[in-house]
């Protein structure tokens, strides 16, 4: 089994401590949701893991050979931007292979792009300009861009924000299937606790710059933990299908 170990990871911006004493382990084949209030450091945690910002502490990737994380191991998908690029869908996915691209694109690289476009059922959009796509289609393309390099660690920052219900399910199903079928470590930031309950093998709850809880949905999505973290009174129930549903009632 591949693991990603965070040992005493911290991030500060000037005197502002955003994250401290973050020590935990992520396992391959698992989806981990990072939840918590706005501005609590969820995206910062993802960026710290993804080498996008400076941090303290150590992060060790162990795939049978314990070592520091390399950029090639990771695909980090930032929050969906309103980019108006005229790149086609094919080219958007192709630049996911940026580190290996030379002037001439190889047949293997073309095959990698068409393969992932096929997996995500968007091959038919290949020649469309990215700016002409709907929000849901754009997110699928950005996901394809992240997957084309076959990362061992997939970091998704609010992958379902601004998407309709159908596309939320499509994106999360794809991420889960990829995580399980390719045995990768997927960590995603999400605000929708119901999505976190449904699509997570484990959940991290951030509060006061630290990990308040890390465990299964049943262990973390408990009213006393969530009410303290969100300052909201809420109801938690289990549906007939076995999913936890969290309904906010009122601010505390």
Partner 1 sequence: MADRDGAAIYQAIVRKRAIVCIGSLIGLVLLVLADLMIGPSWIPIHDVVTTLFDGPNGETTSTAIVWSVRLPMTFTCIFVGASLGLAGVKVQTICNNPLASPYTLGLTSGAAFGAATAIFTGFSIAGILWLGTAVLAFIFAGGVSLAIYMVGKMKGMSTITIILAGIVMNFFFVALQQLLQYKASAEVAQLIASWTFGSLTRSSWTSVAVSGCILVVCAIFVTRYVWQLTALTTSEENAKSLGVDTESVRLKMFMSASLLTAGAVSFIGTVGFVGLVAPHCARLLVGEDQRYLIPASVIFGSLLMLAASITAKLIGGGSMIPVGIVTSLVGVPALFILLMKTRRWE
Print the binding letters for residues 120-159 with partner 1: x by CB under 8 A, - otherwise. ---x--xx-xxx----------x--x--------------
Nearer to partner 1, 56 or 83 (CB): 83
Nearer to partner 1, 9 or 74 (CB): 74
Please select the residue that binds partner 1; options are 40, 44, 45, 96, rule is CB under 8 A: 96
Count interface residues toward partner 1 (CB under 8 A): 41
Strands 56-62 and 3-13: antiparallel
Please select the residue that binds partner 1; options are 39, 64, 86, 251, rule is CB under 8 A: 86
Under the criterion CB under 8 A, does residue 103 sit at the interface with partner 1?
yes
Nearer to partner 1, 108 or 235 (CB): 108
Nearer to partner 1, 60 or 88 (CB): 88
Under the criterion CB under 8 A, does residue 61 sit at the interface with partner 1?
no
Q: Please, what is the minimum distance in Å from the beta carbon of residue 149 to partner 1?
A: 9
Q: Binding residues for partner 1, per CB under 8 A?
A: 50, 52, 71, 75-79, 81, 83-88, 90-92, 95-96, 98-99, 101, 103, 105, 107, 110-111, 113-115, 117-118, 123, 126-127, 129-131, 142, 145
């Amino acid at each position: 089994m591949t693991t990603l170990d965070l040992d005493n990871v911290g991030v500060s911006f000037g005197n502002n401590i955003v994250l401290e004493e973050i020590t935990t382990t992520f396992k391959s084949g698992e989806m981990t949701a990072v939840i918590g209030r706005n501005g609590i450091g969820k995206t910062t945690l993802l960026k710290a893991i993804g080498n996008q910002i400076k941090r303290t502490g150590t992060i060790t990737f162990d795939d049978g050979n314990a070592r520091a994380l390399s950029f090639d191991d990771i695909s980090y998908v930032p929050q969906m931007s309103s980019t108006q690029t005229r790149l086609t869908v094919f080219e958007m996915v192709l630049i996911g292979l940026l580190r290996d691209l030379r002037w001439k694109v190889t047949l293997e690289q073309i095959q990698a792009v068409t393969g992932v476009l096929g997996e995500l059922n968007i091959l038919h959009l290949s020649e469309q300009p990215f700016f002409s796509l709907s929000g849901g289609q754009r997110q699928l393309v950005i996901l394809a861009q992240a997957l084309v390099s076959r990362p061992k660690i997939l970091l998704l920052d609010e992958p379902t924000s601004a998407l309709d219900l159908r596309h939320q399910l499509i994106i999360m199903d794809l991420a889960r299937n990829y995580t399980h079928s390719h045995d990768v470590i997927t960590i995603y930031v999400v605000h929708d606790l119901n999505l976190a309950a449904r699509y997570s093998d484990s959940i991290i709850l951030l509060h006061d710059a630290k990990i308040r809880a890390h465990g299964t949905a049943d262990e973390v999505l408990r009213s006393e933990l969530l009410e303290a973290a969100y300052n909201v009174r809420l109801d938690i129930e289990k549906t007939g299908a076995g999913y936890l549903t969290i309904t906010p009632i009122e601010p505390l």
